[in-house]
A and B are shown apart, each in its own frame.
Chain A
């Protein structure tokens, strides 16, 4: 077994190449810092070769946490001794950028007696613009194999794998060590010279991107297009997902009408009806929205727009103690807080990274989506205004998302002003990747994987919670009176806590259960209403919420509570691992729970006054 270390600068297409070579589905995107930590897999055609994908780094001189982690891992891998070669992936359309790191790696390879291979990616882009790249000349000048390839189309991959398979047979001494520079300036000079001699000529690509930048970063059109793109993102969650959600709901009803008559035992019948179709089923209905959300965020990541959005957001975010680089982790947090927390490694400034950690759990993550969707569909009519262009439910979703973002910014603004230690405030320097048409197949696969992961991760938790909730709610009177059940007795004990925001004990129980994971709220509520109204199994959960007597002001208070409360054990655990302590997660959990309750109470009274 031999290892090939896949390294390269950000945006070189390294992760896509790794996926193509291994058949795995590592997340790829068109902005710096998408690979966090190393990932390994075996070559599909040469299983004896293990490929290790490293996070993108610009040089051997780390300035961010993400780069330090990558370089430490690289050192450990080289010292372990199983490495056959290092494959440095460079973007052939911007050769000098990747060659700076490649030249530094060459020096490292000489030290460790390893072989370097240059994988010159993006040949498809060169072909598209009729540009040429002299791989043979570059290989001769550097004294190392240079393989032109396209991770997107698969061109050159077979050749690369063949070179990998024979790399252990060649001594490292083939490297032309005369070419190695001594400092950053020498490496850069050498890289520019090599790019001039062997790289594609002309600046057609840059001119194309500059025209798009002039629009997306203009003071007027840049801001408007940013708001429109963000609005479109949230509007699509409702409009695109609605037909699939209806189909899932109809399928579950059809399945229940098929299965339930076959069950003779009344307790088993009630369990399947209330806990499985009512609890788990209610949760499954919202999975299409998670699919659409992930697809839309992935499309933005792939297009190259996110780096521009980071530039647009930089100045406004500075007012709240953050940086433009906080935008990408925060947007990742819209899908799930966990990748958002990992993505914050790209923020060089420890202080701003810490503040970004505070903001991420307040981003409206996909686990909140089922709760929002349930409450919005229960209280906001499915009508459109402005000639059908603006759906009221989508608008409400946009509003509640903005509330979470605003709460995050408010917290960071307040905390940053009370921090004594201003620390080393790393400046904002960000590469603008080229604009690209998103690759739909990997995006659809990614959205499918994310939805599947969501179901398989949250599904068992929801199943067990609904089991417990159903058991406690069904006995000792076999569902005859939910209020007199064991759960009813427990619920009445905690009811005074939620009574000030107009919530009865059933909502209190669902909130308490959702501190494990937010999405449990929907399943728990589905089970409780299932026990209470078992004979009405054709009624959707949103209709049951409407019929439960929940007031509009309590509905808004619930939305506000879920927008702020830190109800996710996994997020807190990842945060503890990233910060090396449980101090911040515990403080965050207590602080955000109190903040959520106080805000919900405020919203309850405010809406009550307005109505």
Chain B
């Protein structure tokens, strides 16, 4: 009852002015429509950009695949690596044999020096 009486007491011009002021604080329907249109346009643009980027990625991937060495080349490198390892290991044995040969030579010389046959 109190509310009703208060509203009745408010003069029409003042009510209009207040309501108008409130309306001005909010976005109009027309503006909302425009915003939605803008957002849609932006989504579509982004969609196009993603498509373009995907194509770019595919192109670069293809390039990388092309840049990786051929199987034959990889095999050659693996082979060179294996050979290097094996050569080093073989070298080690040769050097060890050399040590043993010197040992044998010294022994033979020592025996001869000592008058042995």
The answer on A and B forming one complex is no
Residues of A within 8 A of B (CB): none
